[in-house]
Structure 1
Amino acid sequence: MKPLIDLQMATDHPQACPSLEAFQVWVEAGLLEETPSACEVTLRLVDDDESRYLNASYRGKDKPTNVLSFPFDAPIDLAAAGELTLLGDLVICVPQVVREAEEQQKQLQHHWAHLVIHGLLHLQGKDHQEEAEAEAMEALERARLAALGIPDPYASPDTRHQ
Structure 2
Amino acid sequence: MLVKKKVASPKLAIDLQFASPAIESTLGKIASPTLIKKWVKSAIPLGGLITLRFVNTTEGKKLNMVFRQKDYATNVLTFPYDLSKNELVADIIFCLPVLQKEAKEQGKLLNAHLAHLIVHGCLHAQGHDHEVMKDAKKMEALEIQILEKLGFANPY
AA partner of residue 64 (structure 2): N
TM-score after normalising by structure 1: 0.82
AA partner of residue 101 (structure 1): A
Aligned to 2:79, the other structure's residue is in SS state strand
Judging by fraction of residues, say which structure has more helix: 2
TM-score after normalising by structure 2: 0.85
The Cα shift of 1:78 comes to 10
- The reply on whether 1:69 has 2:78 as its aligned counterpart is yes
Corresponding residue of 1:159: none
AA partner of residue 72 (structure 1): Y
- Residue identity over aligned pairs, in percent, reads 41
Q: Could you tell me how far apart the structure 2 residues matched to 1:78 and 1:150 are?
A: 28
Tell me whether 10-19 or 20-29 shows the greater mean CA deviation.
Answer: 10-19
Structure 2 unmatched ranges of 5 or more: 1-8
Aligned to 1:73, the other structure's residue is in SS state strand
* Alignment root-mean-square deviation, CA: 1.7
Whether the aligned pair in 2 keeps the contact of 1:87 and 1:124 (CA below 8 Å) is no
Whether the aligned pair in 1 keeps the contact of 2:23 and 2:54 (CA below 8 Å) is no
Corresponding residue of 2:14: 5
Corresponding residue of 1:116: 118
The Cα shift of 1:24 comes to 1.1
Matches within 5 A, 1:9-88: 9-11=18-20, 12-17=22-27, 18-31=31-44, 35-36=45-46, 38-73=47-82, 85-88=87-90
Matches within 5 A, 1:98-137: 98-137=100-139
Write out the 4+ residue segments of structure 1 that deviate beyond 2 Å after TM superposition: 11-16
Q: Could you tell me how far apart the structure 2 residues matched to 1:121 and 1:108 are?
A: 20
Number of residue pairs matched? 143
